[in-house]
Amino acid sequence: MEFAFSEEQRLFEGVLRDLLVEECPPEAVREAAAGPGVDRGRWNRLGSIGLLGITVDDRHPGGHGGTEVDAVLGLEAAGYVCLPEPVGEAYVVAALLKGTDLEQEWLPKIAAGHAVATIGPRSAVAHGDDAALLLLDDGEFTEVSTDALVEPRAGLDPTRGLVEVISGRGAALPKPWSEALDRAAFASAAHLIGVSRRVIEMAAGYSRDRHQFGKPIGSFQAIKHLLADAHLSVEFAAPVVYRAAWSLATDDANASRACSMAKAMASDAAVAACRAALQVHGAIGYTEEHDLHLWLKRGFAVASAWGDANHHRARIRASLLRR
Amino acid sequence: MDLSFTPEQESFRAEARAWLASNVPAEPLPSMDTAEGFEAHRGWERTLHAGGWSAVSWPAAYGGRGAGLEEWLIFEEEYWASGSPFRVNQNGLFLFAPTVLEHGTDAQKRRFLPAMAAGDEIWCQGWSEPDAGSDLAGLTSRADRVGDEWVINGQKTWCTRGAFADWLFGLFRTQPGSERHHGLSYLAVPLEAEGVTRRPIAQLNGETGFAEVFFDAVRVPVENTVGAEGDGWKIAMATAGFERGLLLRSPGRFMAPAARLLALAGERAERAPSAAVDDAVAAWMRVEAYRLFTMWTVSRLRTGASIGAESSLNKLWWSEMDIDLNRAALGLLGDEAELASSWTDALQFALAGPIYAGSNEIQRNIVAERVLGLPRG
């Protein structure tokens, strides 16, 4: 039993994280909020550093031949920097296209960051306007569309570039939509861990700097306990997310439940972390000028996407009790 | 990353399961917080010891079987699933023994560990005093050096099973005039020594598992000092790390009631409110998260990392989780919920969890200050 990342996985994470921090400072997130869209240059560069091809088979150019265990820390790092681009969606699409007629054509393009692919419910697909390939729910299976007619929809998090799909049906993939749900739940959970860790870090830093009543506000127990509880939720959610990565990677019989547990716990943790961080920042955290709102909106939006905590607990209940 | 166990570990599990199935008492023992029950549980410790199961992770020389931390986790899962009695010597086995193994002399290891593993000497912890609970550094019980002995005067309180235990490990002020966490030493004290008086304290669950222990010129040899004189605080904090961390509350201890809770939820789902079933599922999830967090911590320990202040996270999680588990069970029982049952017993005990082993308020302060880097008050 070794529930840990390898040194190689940690090294790769370090490289990715440094690059993401450089590629995506808060200003970049702010720009994406003002004019939603994928930054093509950045998407390309994320492709060349290998972030998008981790789980793509290595017989495809740009494919790293890795598993979800290799990918999860990169997905988390994307959340840490509040990356607007659909890295999680790219992972889900690549996994669903594997073994289908579309694999050969699309996986190299996705891995290289030359094409944007996305997936979502018809009513709210992230980055649907920028995507060359959309995977949608056709009721049971997964539907593929390359020429979807979409209409932008305002979202809680403007950086997600949500659209509603207006056009008719595309071709069906022989992949059940439930597989998309599991993988997207897992990918969003990883993203949320990153978002959560970042906002707690921001709040801890603020609590050291901000002085009131003659001392840093972090010296007050109320502030300490708020952040300690948020940190507790996140630190117990993280191994659950990593276990989901392992379950998917090993095709474990309980992978679906593992993904739901990851999403449920990460969603709750993200909401707790975002609320605690905002409360610690006080009014300044509520301004548009301060960066915190960018992460808050991402946290709340993704906590709701792909099934919120209640949705996934209901799934887990059904799995555990068959009712 | 590999979350599976080896074939050797699986056969260790099978061996533990088989032995427990053949040896677990047919009827539950009386509570170990009563005189009769205490001795019955000592008898069980002897049975465990005879099978080589009382301290699986210790070196064989001291009465263990040299099992690793993972094997210990496996053993704990099997132990609690088998319906085995509580471990009356848990304070010794899981708090004092790791301290002795890390900070004690070889002579102390030989003197204390085998007798502990055999159930011959049962231990209680002497930390708190009437004026020193959360603020343990305010303790005033002292031990004055006279020749090659300590002469102890003072009082400890909230000693779990202090009324019946054979030995006490505790913190005493050995440097005259010292204050706070300076000048304290970690001593082992035989409770049959002259000058020791014990008074049971009735707990809200009706048991007299607690005691006040009074020391009136109690003499113990200087050899009973664990670690260097004056280093007591540092060594005690190491104990606190274990206590809050893995050893006192293994995942297995909660996986067994979580499985029973799910079974209860299945039985009661038609009659109980849907929210009650949801609460049971949520409690089960918390236990599963605890199992995974523990595995994650064990893997980190194996790379040489130490648990440190993060053990406070462990304690915060299991103590609240234990209450959730038992409340969820009551939520499924409808009109029968308030009738005395193993669930109401466990709930009453669980209510103490956020208080002992360092109150959860202190734990949150530790997390904030030492893990998140917030300034002290």
Chain B environment of A228 (Cβ under 8 Å) = 316, 363-365, 367-368, 371-372
Beta pairing partners, B172: B185
> Does the model's ipTM exceed the 0.90 cut?
yes
**Residues B202-255: pLDDT tens digits?**
999 888 888 999 999 999 999 999 999 999 999 988 766 765 567 789 999 999
* Contact status, residue B212 vs residue B159, Cβ threshold 8 Å: yes
Tell me, what's the pLDDT at A165? 95
* Contact status, residue A56 vs residue A22, Cβ threshold 8 Å: no
Other Cβ atoms within 10 Å of A48 Cβ, number: 13
Contact between chains at A219 and B302 (C-beta distance less than 8 A): no
B9 touches chain A (CB under 8 A): yes
CA distance A301 to A158: 10
Nearest to A313 among B281, B288, B373 (CB): B281
- The arithmetic mean of pLDDT across residues A79-101, rounded, is 97
Contacts of B78 (CB under 8 A, 6+ apart): B13, B16, B17, B20, B252
CA distance B51 to B210: 30
**Residues A226-253: pLDDT tens digits?**
999 999 999 999 999 999 999 999 999 9
Find the angle CA(A115)-CA(A118)-CA(A122) to the nearest 5 degrees.
140
User: Could you say which residues from 205 to 264 on chain B have a Cβ atom under 8 Å away from some Cβ of chain A?
Assistant: 262
Nearest to A265 among B289, B316, B376 (CB): B289
Contact between chains at A235 and B293 (C-beta distance less than 8 A): yes
B272 touches chain A (CB under 8 A): no
**Residues B50-99: pLDDT tens digits?**
999 999 999 999 999 999 989 999 999 999 999 999 999 999 999 999 99
Chain A nearest C-alpha distance from B262 (Å)? 8
**Residues B263-280: pLDDT tens digits?**
999 999 999 999 999 999
- The arithmetic mean of pLDDT across residues A85-106, rounded, is 97
What dihedral angle (degrees, nearest 10) is formed by the CA atoms of A119, A121, A127, A132?
50
- Residue A34 pLDDT > 90: no
Query: What is the pTM for the complete model shown?
Result: 0.96
Chain A environment of B292 (Cβ under 8 Å) = 3, 239-240, 243
CA distance A142 to A126: 16
**DSSP type of residue A175:** E
Contact between chains at A3 and B295 (C-beta distance less than 8 A): yes
Contact between chains at A3 and B285 (C-beta distance less than 8 A): no
**Residues B154-191: pLDDT tens digits?**
999 999 999 999 999 999 999 999 999 999 999 999 99
Tell me, what's the pLDDT at A323? 56
| Distance from chain centroid for Cα B324 | 20
Tell me, what's the pLDDT at B237? 85
Q: How confident is the model at residue B301 (pLDDT cuts 50, 70, 90)?
A: confident
**Residues A287-317: pLDDT tens digits?**
999 999 999 999 999 999 999 999 999 999 9
CA distance B253 to B321: 12
- The arithmetic mean of pLDDT across residues B368-377, rounded, is 95
Contact between chains at A4 and B303 (C-beta distance less than 8 A): yes
Other Cβ atoms within 10 Å of B51 Cβ, number: 15
- Residue A207 pLDDT > 70: yes
Chain A residue closest in CA terms to B290: A236
- Residue B17 pLDDT > 90: yes
Contact between chains at B262 and A220 (C-beta distance less than 8 A): no
Tell me, what's the pLDDT at B244? 56
Chain B environment of A266 (Cβ under 8 Å) = none
**Residues A128-182: pLDDT tens digits?**
999 999 999 988 899 999 988 999 999 999 999 999 999 867 899 999 999 999 9
B138 touches chain A (CB under 8 A): no
Catalytic residues of B: 243
Tell me, what's the pLDDT at B247? 77
